[in-house]
Amino acid sequence: MPSSLRGSRSFVVSGWILMLVLFGLEWVAGRVPACAAVVAAPRITLVIFADHRLPDDEWTSLAATLSRRFEDLAAETHLVSTGFDVVRGDTLAPGAQFEEVISVYLHGECHLHPQPGSYTVHGPLGWVLRDHTQIKPFIHVDCARIAEMLEQRAFGMDQRTRESVMAEAVSRVVLHEWLHIATQNSTHARDGIFKGAFSITDLLPGYTAGGGQPSRGK
């Protein structure tokens, strides 16, 4: 009898220990998703390289516009990021380290001059590179084509306004291509920033003076 009694007590104690262990495992398992949910997304850095060096005023306008529009787009699309930086490629320090880097290449002259141009431009305004199914973090923007679309609208604009308009248009193309990278999705939508073809009003939201024919945004 005493022997059996000791065996019963041992079983009861072991049972409680097992229950505590299982409870602890369930608590840990329940905590893992909560901890994972608060892991911060990496800070994104756009490193801008240009065929022709941007004057300081144009660079300042482009960097400020990109920053504003990125924050607007992140809020609109619910894409989470802990921050966003724009860095000038020709002043990049050797060995600089970033959490997540996207390289942006501006091709052609990024200046807007008031002269006769064409509302319809042939060829892409921007594009990204894809390796098999992965869209790589490299964005190409054709400044010359963007400027050609906007040249007729530049009459009557002062220098500061032209810089602002060009910065807005380039930013729209950059953000369009960035969305392809962020979502790893190469498809397009009928409206908005994800459209496959941009008109002047797509490059300059809120601009109401005329419309023009769309040009390929990607």
Q: What is the CATH number of the domain that holds 100?
A: 3.40.390
Predicted local confidence at residue 194, as pLDDT:
87
Residue 21 and residue 113 in one domain: no
Closest CA to 165 of 122, 121, 217, 203: 203
Structural domain tally of the chain?
A: 2
Q: Residue 157: CB partners within 8 Å, gap ≥ 6?
A: 112, 114, 165
In the predicted structure, residue 189 carries a pLDDT above the cut 60: yes
4 and 51 together in one domain:
no
- Tell me phi and psi for residue 140, to 5 degrees: -115, 135
How many whole angstroms separate alpha carbon 51 and alpha carbon 173? 17
Same domain, residue pair 71 and 158? yes
The band of 80, judged by pLDDT with boundaries at 50, 70 and 90, is: low
Highest mean pLDDT, choosing among 5-14, 72-81, 85-94, 167-176: 167-176
140 pLDDT band (50/70/90 cuts)?
Answer: very high
Q: CA-CA distance, 167 to 174, in Å (whole number)?
A: 10
Is pLDDT of 164 > 70?
yes
Q: How far apart are CA 152 and CA 130, in angstroms?
A: 34
34 plus 95 within the same structural domain = no
- Domain of residue 204: give its range: 44-216
| Same domain as 49, residue 34 | no
pLDDT beyond 80 at 201? yes
Same domain, residue pair 26 and 54: no
Q: Binning pLDDT at 50, 70 and 90, where does residue 81 land?
A: low
Residue 91 sits in the same domain as residue 183? yes
pLDDT of 62 strictly over 90: yes
Shared domain check, 203 and 144: yes
User: Which value, in Å, is the radius of gyration of the alpha carbons in the chain?
Assistant: 27
Strand 197-198 and strand 215-216: the pairing is antiparallel
Looking at the structure, do residues 115 and 26 belong to the same domain, yes or no?
Answer: no
- Which is higher by pLDDT, 10 or 14? 14
Does one domain contain both 108 and 165?
yes
Q: Please answer whether residues 22 and 127 qualify as being in contact, where contact means their C-beta atoms are separated by less than 8 angstroms.
A: no
Mean pLDDT of 81-92: 86
- The pLDDT of residue 156 is 87
Q: Do 157 and 168 form a contact (C-beta atoms < 8 A)?
A: no
**Mean of per-residue pLDDT scores for the chain:** 78
Read off the pLDDT of each residue in 79-97 and give the average, rounded to a whole number.
Answer: 84
Identify the CA nearest to 166 among candidates 142, 196, 191. 142
Higher-pLDDT residue of 17, 112: 112
Q: What percent of the chain has pLDDT over 70?
A: 70
What is the arithmetic mean of pLDDT over 38-59? 86
Q: Where are the alpha helices (DSSP H) in 78-158?
A: 143-150
**Same structural domain for residues 16 and 60?**
no
Q: Which pTM was predicted?
A: 0.75
- Model confidence at 2: pLDDT above 70: no
Q: Indicate whether 111 and 97 sit together in one domain.
A: yes
